[in-house]
Structure 1
């Protein structure tokens, strides 16, 4: 099998790796495995049900104890089914008259003999219409007794003809195909088999096609990935349902109750069968434990249960990884194995039905078989990684290939252990790998290598992060899947097709001298996650060694290593610092040093943020990075020895804004008059087009009037800039924030509060729609905000909200710190805590009640972590002294703690 199939890693313990898909213990358990369910002769049905309930509870307690002691999960599933069988048969004998023409079957998962602690108990009563009518009362009594006994049985009562009719629904057919007799003679069993026979309904090929499509649709509901933060163990890609699907297809196509006989038919390798059984037990143990910790039939591995399940299964934190991360990594790797083998088997079933078409030769070594790429030599690849690289080169050159042929995929998986890592490979092989990165579809090639285990063999450090999750809300993918998402984003930049999500990426990409260097940086940027220490520094070491080994020049090697080490620099600068400050731009430009590095770093940063979470990238971040890129490029062109001074920046911005106003027909004299009403600091901190827009907003407004203007950011639907000019009054900033948050459902990304002449304020905000289902437009925001500010501000108060479920498991101890601004006039307040809806409104409300003035705000959210920075002063427009800081710290702490408890 592949590297992940064979790798010795921490796994859930299972005792019997030889059992087939169906649990033999259901029919013939060993005597020592019997779990007694004693039912005394009860005087009435209520007493009987109570005794049955107690007996089942006792049985479950014993089984659960054995589970915690590490007993084989397959045996436990069979024993629980056996215990329920005992109750059902006793109830049937008590309620149904002897000789009645009725038969009872277990169907679905219960029929398969896999009964998890809280799984459904699906039953089928086979009876003709007259028998159904005659036994209506006994059957009603039976199901009432079962319900009272705690068995929430789902049942269907059908005649043979009704079974055939119901089987038109492929789900119903599938459930009945796994029927196991509980109280049914051979004639009843034969009747049911005949009712759903493929000669009557759903011939094998049609069944295969329908089930294949059903699986594709099911996978699509989960984003076609098993690497979700809260995966579904049963129905998600690579979950137990994928294994069940293979079993159902084998049953319908070949009449096989287990997958093992497929080996003799040539459809399944011995190693593949062993891997499927191993992963089935791994997944079954996770699901069994999940039912126990959840106390119900929970199939989704939610944050609520991940830590408690990991602890119950014996996973402990170590110096590098949390126990929950170790458990989840085991799941993700198991799901990947199931998906790989599932794909191969589906392809072999397809060939069974449609036949093997004549191959289409591509070159002397490879051909297409029914559209799938295959090696022509049956002994391929003979442990030679050069042959494997040749396969990927041909695959990249023939995008029409449907995928890798199953026999070639299996041969590749079997050869993986013999393939060398790059350190042990020859220079020629290393150059061959680099040629793949310089050839067609390099990212697609890396994805294919990763999925089939080749990349992990060539680059062992990548294998270490395969399936590695990070227990937070910032990283919604495993490290390897995040890395591949970053590479896909880079590939989209190279496509030449503009993407509205990225303002400049497609313009910058053509400037790259060697795009493969950026791909290497993307491949290595997170490769050292989970090792302890700074992953950026450790990853840079790995990247430097890899590049040197692959004969990259010293300059190219250092560029890749620098990008890996500094891959967070641009993101942190843009989101946490004031990039309108010339000093910030100068520091960043000095760290970058040249425009080549800037181009590479900008693209890597965009791809990294957008590849971390679908919700993380937004119009504000795009604009922020584009502004930082543009300002830095200008600074580098000017020369680092000639930093822009404040006076020069003000003059440039004022002149550029005046030119924009002139283009709108506003004369210079009127522009000067409008500029005189604006804060001097705004000409230092804001862009010319912002200044022109704000000045034009003041045109015609009387002194002392409140002006509210909103515009949508160009090219970014759902992102707005909000400008408020008004006479200052206590609590104004907080009132604006609360209105934007509570009334309009807008998430504030950046806020700036400047003091204008004559006691006025010039507040600006960049906001995005927090909920796409409710998306107010610019005009609606203007009207609503203006109306709110026209009344008493004290009536505008933040609403109390319940913390979302997923945030309750990621509590961050609040960190509140103070510093003094560079000019010594104001305090810099930083708040780090768990994010939640309405947090910024609550913080602003506290500042309002403390009668503090807010001059600037930087709002940054990283998953569950909020990092907000405020530039504040007291009522005297001075920095806070120690007593004032302590009072504010206590008030903020109380507000944060109080809301988190809610």
Structure 2
């Protein structure tokens, strides 16, 4: 229905600015006042009544609007006029939320439409003047049939409720849109099911979005309404209770669906109150206020907003689960049942009905063994459409027969382990989770079902993130090379027991929300579970270690210098052997990529691959023989020399190029990087500038940028600001001092907007132009802070540590600055400028962003009166702290 006052259908004049009936009262103010009083009363009831009946509130608002609409009608439409007025859409259902549209249908023949056009225009104008968001259509029965070719229009009319109409008009409207005239049941069902599929796809086929749409999103109110519309068209009644009587719907299913519909309706009602406007998306702007309005309060484990959102996610999951069953039953009613096909390898217990897996016995399941057997057969026949609705209902009704693993007999634990070792184990776990079995079997998993974290880093609920991690592991196991993960397909075949890695993925975040270190708590859960299902002590220890250390590789790669042999040695010591390294690497890749679609990138892929390779070599060498810096440099020199020689360079030219490069670069750089930088210096005189950029990894727009230029104050800040202006986000920066007072800076960058990545040539040109002029004029670009970041304020944390042997050892000591704060556009450029303004120099930088949280590390030095680079003293640290705080608070 249209929501604009000037969108009248043919046969109706557009409403004027403020017309009213001749000699009639100015009804608009009184309607506005009356409805405002009703809305205030309903809001008070919503806030003050414990578990206020949401249906009564919706019906009360609908009834109040009915009364005012009828008054407006009698004011504007003369008695006896051949016109009928219907409420349609949500208003027709009698479900009127505080900011819902008022959708109306005027039924009249064309000549009556023309004759009463001015009166109808006054009627609609009056309602708009009264503040009602009216959407209207004026149609004859024949025009209703014509308009119903659009299934959305038909759907609105299906719920038509007479406001000012006699029985003849009601029958005329019903006859105009009957299935024998337009949209027969089969076509209606197919179209609505496709509409539902496309709508779900728009929201990523998941209800577990950070800002879910309560009305249109998967598992939202529109899903419930769609089931009612289908019932109305297929069965002839929109009352789902009638489906219970004819065996289409279980009483327990109806009770669950109605309970969750009311929960979703209460959220939507409250959202409209909090937003003060028509809003269906549960945005960050409203989540905290709505949680408070609904009576949630923070506790030691969960924030109030997290409690509210967990309730939503669980409601949506149940709506989806029940809706899937009812859709299948509608399909069966339309198409009829086909002859079942026995599955001979299922021991006679299961068959296919219309390609859905079904239990043959009406008494299924007798116990949990039957339930686990179902998932084993399903995994063995992974190509089937799904679970038959009758079997799905029987499973739901018998969930109480599935014991927690600690109370289960050994044979049942062995059945579960066989699922992990059988075909398609991740599909089996996903299905068990979706159907509620996994939460019964592992109670800790049920506790994190729908559990969200109020931040931008974890974009999925804990259970959905866990399943995403398992799906990533399944991709590694498939043997299909995924270019996003450069070496995962090489590592997976060495898995001794893949089920151990799956268990680690299942338990790695299972202790979220309990307070304390979730890695430690989860490791204890994993140890108990693995011991209970009969894993050996060694296998149990591996799973426990993986859960406890599942963040180790990520933190090491992103926050430490993995080109430092000491860092590699410490990491290798913790890993200890190849099996632990292989499994931790795969789990880390799967975990990062399963946290957010935007989190995994070429830079992280290469970081983890480099750390994996370096650690593997350290383990092969033996931990008692750590690689010395000089040895590492010599190996890098020779490997890079071989590459340069393949380019046709003679040893003398290579030696000359090496002499112009910083020694520490050979200790910290990769051979391919050293060769690339050395080749870039060919033909460049001492004191000249050279900028190069090259693609890295498989991510579009990801670049490695190399800058060689004479050193001068403010250089790092100017380069960072220019890259920021180019729309590039820096992931890692290495700033090295070369001979002849030159710098060798390297930057790993990715495009801020992947749709518009700058080319390598553009990056080289813009940086070279900037470096050719004065640096003082280079300022960070100013961008508006994204809306979602405004709701996640992190108090800045600034720390200093001295790196090196002695504070007076010139050139050998540095200060490590660690900064944790709220991320925002241009943050790094502003921080770099603050460091520059304190006359400090940056030597190394690691940039890590986790949702709204920036965690950056810099190695910096000051210059003393003798020109020696030193660590920062207490006064300099305090001055830098003040400058950074001012910068972060926008006072720069």
Q: Same fold (TM over 0.5)?
A: yes
2:189 corresponds to: 208
In 1, distance between residues paired with 2:636 and 2:90? 71
2:13 corresponds to: none
CA drift of 1:45 comes to 6.0
1:483 corresponds to: 466
In 2, distance between residues paired with 1:458 and 1:411? 17
Alignment of structure 1 residues 272-291 onto 2, 5 Å: 272-291=253-272
In 2, distance between residues paired with 1:396 and 1:869? 47
Alignment of structure 1 residues 555-574 onto 2, 5 Å: 555-574=538-557
* 8 Å CA contact retained: 1:468, 1:478: yes
In 2, distance between residues paired with 1:292 and 1:43? 37
Alignment of structure 1 residues 348-363 onto 2, 5 Å: 348-363=329-344
In 2, distance between residues paired with 1:378 and 1:803? 60
1:722 corresponds to: 705
2:71 corresponds to: 90
My pick for the range that moved more, 850-859 or 571-580, is 850-859
2:494 corresponds to: 511
In 1, distance between residues paired with 2:257 and 2:249? 10
Alignment of structure 1 residues 752-763 onto 2, 5 Å: 752-763=734-745
CA drift of 1:435 comes to 0.5
Structure 2 residue corresponding to 1:773, chosen from 742, 745, 755: 755
* 8 Å CA contact retained: 2:603, 2:697: no
Alignment of structure 1 residues 207-226 onto 2, 5 Å: 207-226=188-207
CA drift of 1:822 comes to 2.4
After TM superposition, the score normalised by the length of structure 2 is 0.95
Structure 2 residue corresponding to 1:842, chosen from 800, 807, 830: 830
1:827 lines up with 2:808 in the alignment: no
1:318 corresponds to: 299
Alignment of structure 1 residues 780-791 onto 2, 5 Å: 780-791=762-773
* 8 Å CA contact retained: 1:500, 1:716: no
Provide structure 2 residue ranges, at least 5 long, that are not aligned to the other structure.
1-19, 808-812
CA drift of 1:44 comes to 6.4
In 2, distance between residues paired with 1:570 and 1:237? 35
1:669 lines up with 2:652 in the alignment: yes
The structure-2 alpha-carbon separation of the partners of 1:761 and 1:46, relative to structure 1 and needing over 3 Å to count, comes to farther
Structure 2 residue corresponding to 1:751, chosen from 730, 733, 738: 733
Structure 2 residue corresponding to 1:188, chosen from 158, 169, 175: 169
CA drift of 1:409 comes to 0.2
In 2, distance between residues paired with 1:441 and 1:45? 73
CA drift of 1:703 comes to 1.1
My pick for the range that moved more, 172-181 or 392-401, is 392-401
CA drift of 1:848 comes to 1.7
CA drift of 1:623 comes to 0.2
Alignment of structure 1 residues 593-612 onto 2, 5 Å: 593-612=576-595
1:67 lines up with 2:46 in the alignment: yes
1:815 corresponds to: 797
CA drift of 1:849 comes to 1.7
* 8 Å CA contact retained: 1:45, 1:145: no
Structure 2 residue corresponding to 1:805, chosen from 787, 796, 804: 787
1:545 corresponds to: 528
1:387 lines up with 2:389 in the alignment: no
In 2, distance between residues paired with 1:461 and 1:871? 42
In 2, distance between residues paired with 1:759 and 1:465? 56
**CA shift digits 1:467-501 (9 cap, x unpaired):** 10011111000000000000000000001000011
Structure 1 residue corresponding to 2:853, chosen from 865, 871, 878: 865
In 2, distance between residues paired with 1:588 and 1:357? 60
1:886 lines up with 2:887 in the alignment: no
In 2, distance between residues paired with 1:607 and 1:642? 31
Alignment of structure 1 residues 616-635 onto 2, 5 Å: 616-635=599-618
1:378 corresponds to: 362
CA drift of 1:717 comes to 2.9
CA drift of 1:865 comes to 0.5
Secondary structure, counterpart of 2:849 in structure 1: strand
**CA shift digits 1:729-775 (9 cap, x unpaired):** 11111111111111x10110000000111110000000111101211
* 8 Å CA contact retained: 2:519, 2:547: yes
My pick for the range that moved more, 630-639 or 41-50, is 41-50
**CA shift digits 1:333-373 (9 cap, x unpaired):** 11111001100000000000000000000031000000000
2:142 corresponds to: 161
Structure 1 residue corresponding to 2:322, chosen from 318, 338, 341: 341
In 2, distance between residues paired with 1:499 and 1:89? 63
1:266 corresponds to: 247
In 2, distance between residues paired with 1:714 and 1:441? 30
CA drift of 1:716 comes to 3.8
1:33 corresponds to: none
Structure 2 residue corresponding to 1:234, chosen from 215, 230, 237: 215
1:409 lines up with 2:392 in the alignment: yes
* 8 Å CA contact retained: 1:106, 1:179: yes
In 2, distance between residues paired with 1:542 and 1:587? 27
In 2, distance between residues paired with 1:518 and 1:669? 51
In 2, distance between residues paired with 1:482 and 1:309? 25
CA drift of 1:714 comes to 4.3
2:16 corresponds to: none
CA drift of 1:827 comes to 1.1
Secondary structure, counterpart of 2:609 in structure 1: helix
**CA shift digits 1:491-532 (9 cap, x unpaired):** 000010000110000100000100000000000000000111
**CA shift digits 1:273-329 (9 cap, x unpaired):** 100110110000000000000111110101111110000000111111111111111
Structure 2 residue corresponding to 1:614, chosen from 591, 597, 602: 597
2:681 corresponds to: 698
CA drift of 1:389 comes to 0.9
Structure 2 residue corresponding to 1:81, chosen from 50, 59, 62: 62
Secondary structure, counterpart of 1:710 in structure 2: strand
CA drift of 1:463 comes to 0.6
Structure 1 residue corresponding to 2:574, chosen from 552, 569, 591: 591
1:11 corresponds to: none
* 8 Å CA contact retained: 1:46, 1:145: no
* 8 Å CA contact retained: 2:21, 2:75: no
In 1, distance between residues paired with 2:175 and 2:312? 40
Query: RMSD of the TM alignment (CA)?
Result: 1.2
1:110 lines up with 2:102 in the alignment: no
Higher relative contact order, chain-length normalized (CA < 8 Å, sep 6+): 1
1:368 lines up with 2:372 in the alignment: no
In 2, distance between residues paired with 1:802 and 1:849? 24
